């Protein structure tokens, strides 16, 4: 019996042309993509190489494969061991029939006849004869603009060709009838392919030349395959989008009625969970630019319970099942996530937003400053960018008050005139956005094959460990402002102690008797987001000093600290004193309502103040309505058997219908 040592194993390695051959590391082509004749020839060559490596004779190779040993040697040396553009050797790929491994190289002198034939390889011959000029051409093609330098950018290929032709004219190529002046198009096609090959062989540099710094940075950051999202609530994408529409606001006219005024284009901030594509929350910003408070309001909306709006344009706008996760299941309210991806805007990466995400949500901020994302790169936040693109095409761009998808493409009608004539108020835009986002969450998603809410419901029970919940008290205080303020006044000046906080003077019973705190600093907290008339005060040791109230002229109507700053800015700019015996809010409202120039957009502070006053009036209407219903219930119960009293009690009082509150003067 023959032993294991006596069995001759096939030799898989040898040396060809002084280069080692290792068949185990050779790359394979797609053998199924070849047609039948090429496939048969390829397998014959492959078998011949294997027999050659095993040491078979030329007669054996020719009998089985149809080619001789010398031919197999040339195939291995010139094709299989050649370097592929991917940096590896061609390997088995070099045996594919009719595959060009080496480019054409002219050996004979150039001789072009009168018909323009015989010029193959003329460019390669020129590069060998003029290496310095060829190197100058390469540097010109790959040259990028320097910072803060005035120079040409995005040079076209025809400009490179003209530059090369001018250099060759200086070298008397044209007078001697040399290439390219002896061709029909003066060598443009050859120079075109040469330029393309230079750019293709230097992709990083070509991206900077052709696309600029943004495209070059995109090449470095990649397409996102190395940073996938592996579980639910791992990453949330947040971004702001300017709505493609013009809207107006109705300002009361002193003679009666309302006057429509155009407002600035509005911004909307949206948070989308990447895994399920669910819209967690949003906020419609009424300012010219997005502020840090707008970002915090969007985060707060994502962590609080959503309730449907009382729509004024339709009762059937919400689809069945529409809503947000917080409205579907109370257990889904306040769910936290791990990462927040933003585009690097100042309002999104400021310290206040970063600390709020870390302390309230427990989320890490992914910004271009300390992460892999790129400023304004749509590829780093693909889901929310796609959502905004669909929001524009399926939402506001369908209406005639839209500004259009591109600034260069003018709309059919003037969107500002359409907004004024139709009185398309921004309140309608808020209602429309709420229905669009709520309906999106319950609409079938083509990539998920179910709605985002259904996919959310499917994934959440399988999430291990279970997601965190944000503290409701911390969420409610997300927009509160805390500041150390010195205590002024005291018995030395004959005044009760008070503090200055956000351009207003505050005092209260808990502070007025603490003359010992004069000269020291106390904590002042704006705990009510949209009513800065009241603040909380405490010592640095934590002892509460109760509620403080603002002094005139900031004590009449509710407003926020942000609106207060904007009111002061407008009034001071127009030389209007806020201390004229009336409240500053009323003075500001009269100032805006009395503007004669109807073409100027309404100041954002007016819109924010209207929203605050409307919310306060609606809250007051709810309390009055509840009180009236309670009184009616008490009066309907007869007392002492008085028949007359019982008949009067059965008469139900008629309450006026609910309406939007008008802005008071």
CATH number, domain of 242, equals 3.30.420.10
* Residue-level pLDDT at 648: 42
Residues 215, 155 within the same domain? yes
Q: Which of 221, 253, 280 is the last residue of a domain?
A: 221
The whole-model pTM stands at: 0.62
Is 487 found in the same domain as 598? no
Give the Cα separation of 204 and 142 in Å (integer): 10
Whether residues 171 and 309 share a domain: the answer is: no
Domain assignment present for residue 574? The answer is no
The Cβ-side half-sphere exposure at 159, using a 13 Å CA radius, reads 7
Distance CA 61, CA 68 (A): 6
Of the candidates 439, 436, 339, 371, the one whose C-alpha atom is nearest the C-alpha of residue 397 is: 436
Instruction: Dig out the tokens for 461 from the structure.
Output: 């029970």
Query: Is residue 259 domain-resident?
Result: yes
584 vs 578: CA distance, rounded Å: 5
Q: Give the integer Cα–Cα distance in Å for 590 and 252.
A: 10
The reported pLDDT for the residue numbered 513 is 86
In this predicted structure, what is the pLDDT of residue 226?
A: 52
Residues 160 and 299 both lie in one domain: no
Same domain, 332 and 405: yes
pLDDT of residue 305: 93
Which of 267, 297, 307 lies closest to 284, judged by CA? 267
CA gap 135, 537 in Å, rounded: 74
Structural domain includes residue 662: yes
Instruction: Name beta bridge partners: 236.
Output: 273, 340
Last residue of a domain, one of 195, 221, 247: 221
Look at residue 162 in the predicted model and tell me its pLDDT: 92
Q: State the pLDDT at residue 175.
A: 83
Within a domain: residue 555? Answer: no
Instruction: Report whether 327 contacts 321 (CB < 8 A).
Output: no
What pLDDT sits at residue 271? 94
Number of domains making up the chain: 5
Residue 467 lies in a domain: yes
Do the beta carbons of residue 578 and residue 568 sit within 8 Å? yes
Q: Please, what is the end-to-end C-alpha distance for the chain in angstroms?
A: 113
In angstroms, the CA 555 to CA 534 distance is 9
Q: Contact 233/456 with Cβ under 8 angstroms?
A: no
- Measured between alpha carbons, how far is 270 from 281 in angstroms, rounded to an integer? 6
Could you tell me if 169 and 278 lie in one domain? Answer: no
Residue 493 lies in a domain: yes
Among 302, 297, 303, 282, smallest CA distance to 240 is for 282
Residue pLDDT, tens place only, 23-38: 888 999 998 889 999 9
What's the rounded Cα separation, in Å, for the pair 126 and 112? Answer: 14
Pair 311, 406 in one domain: yes
| Residue 551: closest CA among 594, 615, 503 | 503
Q: The tokens of 622 are what?
A: 């709810």
Same domain, 204 and 278: no
In sequence order, the 6+-apart residues with CB closer than 8 A to the CB of 513 are none
Cα 154 to Cα 210: distance, rounded to the nearest angstrom: 6
HEC-encoded secondary structure of 15-36: EECCEEEEHHHCCCCCHHHCCH
The region, left, alpha or beta by phi > 0 then psi within -120 to 50, assigned to residue 610 is alpha
Are 457 and 493 within one domain?
Answer: no
CA 592 to chain centre: 34
Q: Is residue 112 part of a domain?
A: no
Give strand ranges (E) for 320-431: 339-341, 364-366
Asked if 505 and 462 sit in the same domain, the reply is: no
Cα-Cα-Cα-Cα torsion 294, 300, 301, 302, nearest 10 degrees, comes to 120
| Residue 491, domain member (yes or no) | yes
Q: Which one of 441, 474, 507 terminates a domain?
A: 474
Token digits of residue 205: 């540099």
Mark the ranges of the chain whose per-residue pLDDT is less than 70.
1-13, 113-116, 146-152, 214, 217-227, 249-259, 261, 346-348, 368-379, 396-398, 400-402, 404-412, 422-423, 570-665
Which domain covers residue 71, as residue numbers?
8-95
Distance CA 174, CA 186 (A): 10
Report the phi/psi class of residue 549: left, alpha or beta, with left for phi > 0 and alpha for psi in -120 to 50: beta
Residues 461 and 485 in one domain: no
Pair 449, 320 in one domain: yes
């Amino acid at each position: 019996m023959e032993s294991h040592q006596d069995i001759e194993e096939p030799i898989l390695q040898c040396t060809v042309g002084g280069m080692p051959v290792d068949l185990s590391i050779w790359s394979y082509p797609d053998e199924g993509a070849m047609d039948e004749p090429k496939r048969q020839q390829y397998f014959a060559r492959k078998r011949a190489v294997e027999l050659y490596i095993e040491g078979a004779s030329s007669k054996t190779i020719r009998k089985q494969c149809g080619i001789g040993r010398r031919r197999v040697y040339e195939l291995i040396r010139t094709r299989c061991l050649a370097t592929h553009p991917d940096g590896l050797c061609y390997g088995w790929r070099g045996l594919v029939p009719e595959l060009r491994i080496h480019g054409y190289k002219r050996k004979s002198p150039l001789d072009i006849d009168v018909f323009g034939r015989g010029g193959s390889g003329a460019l390669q011959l020129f590069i060998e004869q003029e290496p310095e000029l060829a190197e100058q051409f390469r540097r010109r093609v790959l040259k990028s603009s320097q910072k803060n330098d005035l120079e040409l950018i995005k040079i076209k290929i025809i400009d490179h060709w003209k530059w090369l032709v001018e250099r060759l004219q200086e070298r008397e190529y044209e007078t001697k009838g040399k290439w390219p002046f002896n061709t029909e198009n003066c060598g443009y096609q050859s120079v075109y392919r040469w330029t393309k090959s230079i750019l293709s062989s230097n992709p990083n540099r070509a991206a900077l030349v052709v696309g600029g710094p943004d495209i070059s940075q995109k090449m470095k950051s990649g397409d996102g395959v190395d940073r996938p999202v592996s579980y639910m609530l791992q990453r949330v994408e947040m971004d702001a989008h300017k709505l493609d529409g013009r809207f107006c606001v109705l300002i009361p006219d002193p003679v009666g009625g309302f006057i429509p005024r155009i407002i600035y284009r509005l911004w909307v901030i949206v948070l989308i969970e990447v895994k399920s594509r669910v819209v967690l929350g949003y906020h419609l910003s009424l300012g010219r630019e997005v502020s840090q408070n707008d970002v915090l309001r969007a985060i707060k909306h994502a962590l609080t319970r959503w309730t449907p709006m009382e729509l004024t344009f339709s009762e059937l706008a919400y689809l069945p099942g529409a809503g947000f996760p917080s409205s579907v299941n109370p257990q889904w309210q306040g769910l936290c996530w791990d990462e927040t991806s933003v585009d690097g805007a100042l309002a999104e990466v400021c310290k206040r937003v970063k600390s709020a995400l870390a302390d309230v949500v427990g989320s890490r901020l992914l910004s271009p400053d300390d992460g892999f994302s790129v400023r304004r790169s749509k590829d780093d936040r693909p889901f929310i960018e796609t959502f905004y693109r669909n929001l524009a095409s399926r939402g506001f761009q369908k209406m005639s008050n839209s500004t259009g998808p591109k600034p260069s493409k003018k709309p059919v009608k003037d969107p500002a005139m359409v907004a004024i004539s139709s009185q398309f108020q921004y309140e309608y835009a808020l209602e429309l956005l709420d229905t669009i986002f709520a309906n999106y969450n319950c609409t079938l998603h083509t990539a998920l094959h179910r709605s985002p809410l259904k996919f959310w419901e499917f994934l959440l029970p399988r999430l291990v460990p279970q997601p965190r919940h944000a503290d409701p008290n911390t969420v409610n205080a997300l927009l509160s402002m805390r500041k150390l303020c010195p205590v002024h006044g005291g018995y030395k000046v004959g005044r009760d102690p008070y503090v200055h906080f956000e351009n207003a003077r505050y005092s209260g019973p808990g502070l007025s008797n603490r003359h010992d705190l004069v000269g020291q600093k106390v904590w002042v907290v704006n705990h009510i987001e949209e009513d800065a008339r009241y603040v909380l005060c405490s010592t640095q040791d934590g002892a509460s000093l109760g509620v403080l109230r603002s002094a005139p002229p900031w004590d009449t109507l509710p407003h926020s600290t942000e609106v207060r700053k904007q009111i002061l800015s407008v009034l001071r700019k127009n030389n209007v004193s806020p201390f004229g015996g009336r409240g500053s809010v009323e003075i500001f409202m009269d100032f805006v309502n009395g503007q004669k120039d109807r073409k100027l957009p309404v100041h954002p502070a007016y819109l924010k103040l209207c929203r605050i006053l409307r919310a306060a009036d609606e809250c007051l209407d709810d309390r009055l309505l509840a009180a009236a219903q309670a009184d009616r219930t008490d009066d309907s119960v007869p007392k002492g058997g008085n028949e007359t009293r019982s008949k009067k009690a059965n008469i139900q009082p008629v309450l006026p219908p609910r309406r939007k509150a008008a802005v008071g003067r």
